[in-house]
A = this chain, B = another copy of it.
Amino acid sequence: MKLNILADLLNIKYPIIQAPMAGGITTSKLVAEVSETGALGMIGAGYLTPYQLKNQIIEIRKMTSKPFGVNLFVPQKFVVNTQDVNSVKQILDAINKELNVTYTEDLVLPNFLEEHGKFNEQIKIIMDMNIPVCSFTFGIPSKEIVASLQNANVTVIGTATTVEEAMEVEKSGVDIIVAQGAEAGGHRGSFINESVDSLIGLMSLVPQVTDTVSKPVVAAGGIMDGRGLMASLCLGAVGVQMGTAFLTCDESGAHDVHKDAILNTQENQTTLTRSFSGKWSRGIKNKFIVEMREHEDTFPVYPVQNSLTQLMRKASSLQNNKHYMSLWSGQSPKLAKRQTVESLIQSVIKDVKDITSRLI
């Protein structure tokens, strides 16, 4: 039965992966509770230092003996252009004044070699600490890294937003491919073409990807309940990755302002922006996104822009100011609930049973 393919591969009970949302959302409590309930908890480790990652793994292991995974951002080449940086600073200045943020003298901008070094250390931790699942976004790790992880018994998951990307991801040797539809919240996983052309709705993306690749495909984007899980299985996926549905759970580390914003949003109030991080992401339209529209094409690439807006994001969070926070959300906010992880997963499984009996 299709319901078991992913569960068997990942040694879990239900074919559900909790999307690895970086930036403090995937608390140890969230990850542990998801795994305890029978799905796969994931640490969104993109922004974590190796030290932080190691500590979080130790913390989660104290809370569960079930398998959980780690997601990493594949570093992409970038250069820091001082002129660009200064012009962004100028634009952000008015906002930062409003929030009483001042750039410290020693604002440290990212550096590709350091990012790359951090990535290699993260990989080493995953292998050393016997993490059973490692997923990647923002690109494809080298074949060597994929093979090393697999030799260390790590199941490797890649992310694709188009058929072309899925074919590239498959070539790297990964075990599972996440197909991320246009509906998905947060950062787009696109790495070949980051334009709107890579915004393929999941209903179109999943069957076209599964027809093309031979590896198992996991559907991601806008899936919030058992209806989305069953639909994904019908389209040929072996399971789903759900983000926003877990983000509003009690155990998630998302800011209350963020959770409330999702719970009070309509499906046509999310939008794509690159103003927060330099990479296209879907979130709830707020003042910052709207006001930066005219500038966003000129902003530096990830992770440079991400570093530049960091203080603003931190300050607005501390001040409960939703105008300048990154309120990531997929296109199904009306299906979000404030609930425990256990109640979310139980309701997904109940939906699956209801649909199965209704459609037979």
Question: Which of A's residues lie within 8 Å of B, judged by CB?
Answer: 1-3, 162-164, 181-183, 193, 196-205, 207-208, 211-212, 219, 221-225, 227-228, 230-236, 266-269, 271, 285, 330-332, 334-335, 355-356, 358-360
Residues of B within 8 A of A225 (CB): 207
Residues of B within 8 A of A230 (CB): 231, 234, 359
Residues of B within 8 A of A359 (CB): 1-3, 230, 233-234, 356
Of the A-B pairs whose beta carbons lie under 8 Å apart in the complex, a sample of 21, sorted by A's number, is A1-B360, A2-B359, A162-B267, A162-B268, A164-B268, A181-B201, A183-B201, A197-B269, A203-B203, A203-B221, A203-B223, A203-B232, A204-B222, A205-B267, A207-B225, A207-B227, A208-B335, A212-B334, A231-B234, A234-B355, A356-B360
Contact of A202 among B2, B203, B232 (CB under 8 A): B203
Given contacts A2-B359, A221-B201, contact A211 B271 (CB under 8 A): no
Q: Are B268 and A197 in touch, CB under 8 angstroms?
A: yes
Q: Are B231 and A335 in touch, CB under 8 angstroms?
A: no
Residues of B within 8 A of A204 (CB): 183, 221-222, 267, 330-332
CB distance from A206 to the nearest CB of B (A): 8
The prevalent SS among residues of A at the interface is helix
| Bound CA span A181–B202, Å | 10
Residues of B within 8 A of A335 (CB): 207-208, 211
Residues of B within 8 A of A332 (CB): 203-204, 207-208
Residues of B within 8 A of A268 (CB): 162-164, 193, 197-198, 200
Contact of A231 among B2, B162, B231 (CB under 8 A): B231
Q: Are A208 and B267 in touch, CB under 8 angstroms?
A: yes
CB distance from A358 to the nearest CB of B (A): 6
Residues of B within 8 A of A223 (CB): 203
| Bound CA span A219–B231, Å | 12
Residues of B within 8 A of A203 (CB): 181, 183, 201-203, 219, 221-223, 228, 231-232, 332
